[in-house]
Each structure stands twice: as structure tokens, then as C-alpha cells.
Amino acid sequence: MTKTGLGILLALPMLATSAYAYRTASPNGAVVASFNLENGVPTYSVDYKGSKVILPSRMGFQLAATDDLTDGFSVIGVDSCSFSETWHPVWGENSDICNNYNEFVAKLRQDKTGRRMDVRFRVYDDGVGFRYEFPQEEPFNFFILKDERTEFAMPGDLTAWWIPGDYDTQEYEYNESRLSQIREIYPKAVAVNLNQKHPFSPTGVQTSLQMKTDDGIYINLHEAALVNYSCMHLNLDDNNFVFTSWLTPDADGNKGYLQTPCKSPWRTVMVSDDARDMLASNLILNLNEPCKYADTSWIQPVKYVGVWWEMIGHGKPWAYTFDVPSVDLDRTDYTKVKPNGLHPANNANVMRYIDFAAEHGFDQVLVEGWNIGWEDCTGVKKDYMFDFVTPYPDFDIAMLSDYARSKGVRLMMHHETSSSVRNYERHMQAAYDLMDKYGYNAVKSGYVANIIPAGEHHFGQWMNNHYLYAVTEAAKHKIMVNAHEAVRPTGLCRTYPNMIGNESARGTEFEAFGGNTPTHTCVLPFTRLQGGPMDYTPGIFENDLSKNNPNNHSHVNTTICRQLALYVTMYSPLQMAADVPEVYDRYMDAFQFIKDVAVDWDKSIYLEAEPARYITAARKAKGKDEWYVGGITGYEGRKTDVKLDFLDPGRTYEATIYADAPDAHYLTNPQAYRITRRKVNSKTSLKMSIAPGGGFAISIKPVK
């Protein structure tokens, strides 16, 4: 590790208090960040290999009831350094991550008010992160943000893969359009999501936002280390292609309450002329703090099955009875109510999943609908229905956890909070204690419906503090957390690696709610996955939902091989095999790939990538000589050669190739596949043919 106080390349000190310019290049010189102060107004810009990526863009804040922090500044000092280290994540795509940047800090003071605001830039070979820092110095102690005014002035009418702005959900399909077309597409884009409640602007989008210039430069805007701050959206001025940050408000319309010393999250600009670099980038993880836990031995990647698709896909109820809302019972004695007879979280069925998990080598069994409260979980009683500790009468938690243990698997806890957040916090310790008692070490939590207290939003500062509180409290119990509907990840899993997953995007559940497009998972790695892994819950082999639920006419818009490929292309240390055991029983040969595929990796290589078109990734299993390759395409079928030059030279391996059949098609023939085996080595190139909406998966093991 080196950390030096050396000034960096290209410093242009034009020292004058209210006019100043400073440039810093990345270690290999490809990326240059510039900071300027002109007439007291701070701006920054970013260049990549001589091309403009971010044109001069303003920085600062509007404050409530006091002068804004946007102008009237002087530079009172500059610090710079270089930094290089290799660190090792607890789990990840690679066991070694290189964190190498040049940094400078412009220390600013606002002349009129005497308030301090520093701007810190870290310049990497694959992009730039910058953040605001507020030292604790009189007269600046506590302040309220009306909004952040960071601009991102784009170098033209770029192509973007975007979802509309929303304070409460990211569960959207991505749109592909020019920036100038966002306004026109926006009404359709928001209409597809019934949860959309807060269209703050007809050109507002969420991050991570992936863009591409006509010259083939890929630019991604996001944030890193979102802590004690509200989540950033980007509001586009579509005449000039300038985005301005737009934070999520609280119930009073304020956007943040800050007390010095404090700092904003990093604002990130990733850039490359090769789309694969967007996927391989560690910029967001690198901008986060190192792991805060001394002992991480209890944090382990998890492959799981669950009592889940029966409800989501087959329409069965989470609730034990249909009666409770009609009787006025608090913490109802459920032994007196009439069971609906459809509830899948019952002893016999859970034992069936435990048996299946044990037989096929899965670590855990998620059980949703195990606890009382589902009958009115989004209705009038939602603020107190769940206590997270009382099982339904047909879920014998002691017996089932013993049974699971005897079979070498664990149950996975489920806490649907219904976004009644105070209620969850009131019960959290008891809920985690219950998990300790019965040997659970992972919880899937959820934040469906509007937040209570009313007026707060899923992505506001108050909720962001809650999500992290749930994670850090869980760590005290050695519990891993996978929160659904929570704020989009920003790399915090580096600091808190028990944050083992998140949903925070449109997941596989939407295959049962009308379907996802075949392009969706070709975009997610460029966008949602930049901040951390997603619990996408792949593995649905039965495409026709009406087979189990005649009222559901959704169709899973992928081939079976595409479902397999997702275990490689959608990196996550938490992977579910989401379909029901009886479907896997019909396709045991294809299911073998899900059984084999690793969930933790020494090395990951993106072989091919283009947003919304295709991704091919190869990963080496942690501590093993096995490789897994996954390739996916969008609506168009494609042919590709997969060169296995990442294998050890001179060694022979056996590849098992799971490929779409020649006549496979995500709509008309999704379950058609061919499995072949052959010897391969580092000189082999495999010719793969991918069906529309299809994919391929390859496992490669050394020949003994």
C-alpha cells in the first residue's frame, strides 16, 4: 500500500482565492478530472483519452432557510496523494481487488458565511468519484438540505438505459433511448409500474444510469457509500443534456439533515471505450470503506431454494387463513381461525423442500408466510400485524429447524415488514434473538407498500439509516441480510459484508406479474448490479404460469439455458433456485448446472458485453480449478465463439455445455436444450448458438 503526499501530474496552480484550476490524471493517464473555481463558483469536468465525458458542471447545495452552498467560495488549500492497495473481499467476483487512484481535495470556504465545504476527487483508470466533505468548523454545525445541486453535463445526446425517477421503487423495465427521447417515453415508462407514485419530473431518472456516446464511449453515473443521506436521482435538462442531482425528500420535503463533520456519498462517473470494463469495474466498491467487522468467518455465500414461487408464481397465499381481517383480534389466536388449506409454509411442505435441498446440496431453505400477520399485511392493521416471532400453527419452528439441521441445511428467515418500519424496529431484537435460538443465519427482509411513518420514502435518508441499522444490528447476531425493496446498493457490502444481497430492481417475480423482457438481464449488470449483488432469484424452468394458476397468463421470457446462464452473468453470493422441486424433477439434467455452479469466485472475466444486447462471463470458483461460463442475449438470437484461453495452458478439462436447442425460442420453444460433454483446453474455442431470449451455460472441470 502506498499513500504519498506528492502533488500529482498536471497540477496547474493559478493561485488566486476565487479563481483556481486543478487537474488530476488517473494512474494510467486515461481519465482526467478537473476542478475549477471561477468567480467563486466551483465546477468540475471529466475527460477520457482526450474526449469530453462530463463537460464543466456546477457543484453545491441549496440549503433550507439559509444561503446556498453554490457560489462565493475561495480555495484555501489543496491536498493530493496517490494510493494503491490490493484488498480481499469476504466474498466477491474476484479474490483480489486493486484499488489504485490519484486523489486531490479542494478545500473551500464561502467568503460571505465562513462555511467550509471541501471537494474530494479520486481518479481511477476506469472513472472518477467525488464527494463533498464538511469539516466541523464554526459557524457551520447543523444544516438542512433543500437539494444537492451537482450537475453532470453530458457531451451530447447520448444513448441511455434508464428507468424513471421514483422515491419508492426501482422495479421497472429499462428503457433504451437518446436523452432527448426520455420525455416522450416517460409516460409509458411509468405506466408499466403500478407502484409508481412520485413522478417528480418527466425527465427524471434513477441511477445507476448507463449511457453510451456515438463514438462508443460508455459512461455510467451512480453513487457510492450512501450513508446517512438520501438517495440521488438525476433530473435531465433535455435541451442541454445536463443532469442535476435530485435527492429523495422526507415527509416535510427536506432532503437531508446533516451535522458537521460529515460527508456526502461519492458521486461516480465510470468510463471506458469497452463495455466489458463497465462490468469489470470495482470503482464503486473501492470508494467504500474497508470492512468494519473484525471477524467475518460467519459470513458465507448461500445457494438456496424456498417456499416462494408457489406464492409468487402459482398464486398460493402467504396467509394461513382468510378470516382474520374480518374478526377484530389483535395478535389473533390462530388456532381458533379456519385454515385456508392452501398455505404452503406448512410443516409437511417445508420438510419436502428441506429434503430437496439436502438431496441436491443447497445450503438453505427460505420459507415465506411462516409467521402471523399476512392476513392484513398491507391493510389497516399493517402497523402492528407482524411481530416476526410468532409462527402460524402449521409451522413448527423448533421441529423444522431441528429437521433442517439433521439434514445439513438451514432455514432462511423471512421478515416482510410491509414497510411498517417502526414496528419492525420495535421487534428487531426479539426477531434476531429468535433466529439465534433456532440457528438461522440469514434473513430475507422486505419493504412492500408505503412507508410508515407516512410521508417517508423508501429511498430517503431516514429509511437509508434504517436499512443500515438492520444490517449492523444483524451483524451483532452473526446474521446476513438480503433486503428487498430497499434502496439501491452503493457498494456498502464492502464495509458490511453481511449485506449479502438486495433486490432493489425488477426481479424474477415480475416474470409472474406480466413478464420481464429478454433484454432486462442484459441491462441489469450495467446498472443495478454496479452497486452490489442482486437477489434476482433465477432458475424458473416452467415458462407457462397458467399451468399452475389458470388466472395467471404471464410467460417467463427466457429459455431454460438462459435461466442457467444467469447464475454466472448476474453475479451474487446469494443465489436461489427459484422454481418448485417438482419442476426441477422434470429437468434434472439441466438442473445439474444450478447444483454445480459456484457462488463465490477467485476470478471473473467478462468475455463480451454490450448493454441490452449480450453478456458473456467466465468465472473461476473460489479455491477450485473449476470455471463456469454464462452467456445471454436479448431479443435477437446470436452466434458467438467462446475462447477458453483463460484456462491453465497445457491442462485438459471436461466441459459440460448447456445450450439452447436449434429450434429454441423464449416464446415458442423455451424448454428446448441440448447438453453435451467434451474435452477442452486453453486453445479451445466453443461455437455457441443462442436462441432469441436464450443463453448458454458451461461448467469446466479439470480431468483428473
The contact set with ligand NOJ (CB under 6 A) reads 308, 312, 368, 416, 446, 448, 484, 503, 509
What is the DSSP code string of 17-33?
A: TTBEEEEEE-TTSSEEE
Distance CA 697, CA 564 (A): 6
Distance CA 371, CA 321 (A): 12
In eight-state DSSP terms, residue 526 is G
Rule CB under 5 A: which of 478-507 touch Ca ion?
484
**Catalytic (active site) residue 626:** no
Distance CA 391, CA 380 (A): 21
**What are residue 38's phi and psi, to 5 degrees?**
-130, 125
Largest CA distance in the chain: 80
Q: Cell 425528500 sits at which residue?
A: 249
Q: Exposure string (b/e) for 316-354, b if CB count within 10 Å is 16 or more? A: bbbbbbebbbeeeeeebebeebebeeebbbbeebbbbbb
Cβ-based nearer residue to ligand NOJ, 170 or 244 = 170
If we measure between CA atoms, which residue out of 451, 500, 509 comes closest to residue 474? 500
Q: Which residue is nearest to ligand NOJ (CB)?
A: 416
Cβ-based nearer residue to ligand NOJ, 256 or 369 = 369
- Please, what is the minimum distance in Å from the beta carbon of residue 483 to Ca ion? 10
Binding residues for Ca ion, how many (CB under 5 A)? Answer: 1
- Please, what is the minimum distance in Å from the beta carbon of residue 484 to ligand NOJ? 4
Q: Is 281 helix (H, G, I), strand (E, B) or coil?
A: coil
Q: Which does 416 bind (CB under 5 to 8 A by kind): Ca ion, ligand NOJ, none?
A: ligand NOJ
Candidate list 176, 223, 310, 509, residue with the active-site label: 509
Amino acid identity at 263: K
Q: Which does 176 bind (CB under 5 to 8 A by kind): ligand NOJ, Ca ion, none?
A: none
Cβ-based nearer residue to ligand NOJ, 484 or 562 = 484
- Please, what is the minimum distance in Å from the beta carbon of residue 387 to ligand NOJ? 16
In eight-state DSSP terms, residue 457 is -
Q: Cell 439509516 sits at which residue?
A: 465
Cβ-based nearer residue to ligand NOJ, 368 or 375 = 368
- Please, what is the minimum distance in Å from the beta carbon of residue 504 to Ca ion? 9
Q: Which does 368 bind (CB under 5 to 8 A by kind): ligand NOJ, Ca ion, none?
A: ligand NOJ
SS (H, E, C) 158-184: CEEEECECCCCCCCCCCEEEEHHHHHH
- Please, what is the minimum distance in Å from the beta carbon of residue 650 to ligand NOJ? 46
Cβ-based nearer residue to ligand NOJ, 222 or 484 = 484
CB-based contact 285:97 (threshold 8 Å): yes
CB-based contact 92:98 (threshold 8 Å): no
Cβ-based nearer residue to ligand NOJ, 368 or 579 = 368
- Please, what is the minimum distance in Å from the beta carbon of residue 170 to Ca ion? 9
Q: Which does 238 bind (CB under 5 to 8 A by kind): ligand NOJ, Ca ion, none?
A: none
The distance of Cα 89 from the centroid of its chain, to the nearest Å, equals: 17
Cβ-based nearer residue to ligand NOJ, 261 or 514 = 514
In sequence order, what are the residues at sequence separation of 6 or more whose Cβ sits closer than 8 angstroms to the Cβ of residue 426? none
Cβ-based nearer residue to ligand NOJ, 391 or 692 = 391
CB atoms within 10 A of CB 66: 13
CB-based contact 535:505 (threshold 8 Å): no
Distance CA 308, CA 369 (A): 9
- Please, what is the minimum distance in Å from the beta carbon of residue 377 to ligand NOJ? 8
CB-based contact 121:129 (threshold 8 Å): yes
- Please, what is the minimum distance in Å from the beta carbon of residue 392 to ligand NOJ? 15
Cβ-based nearer residue to Ca ion, 195 or 592 = 195
Sign of CA dihedral 340, 586, 513, 553: negative
If we measure between CA atoms, which residue out of 175, 184, 191 comes closest to residue 517? 175
Do you find a cis peptide bond into 187, omega within 30 degrees of 0?
Answer: no
- Please, what is the minimum distance in Å from the beta carbon of residue 344 to ligand NOJ? 12
Site string for Ca ion, 443-482 (x = CB under 5 A): ----------------------------------------
Binding site for Ca ion (CB under 5 A): 484
Catalytic residue numbers read 509
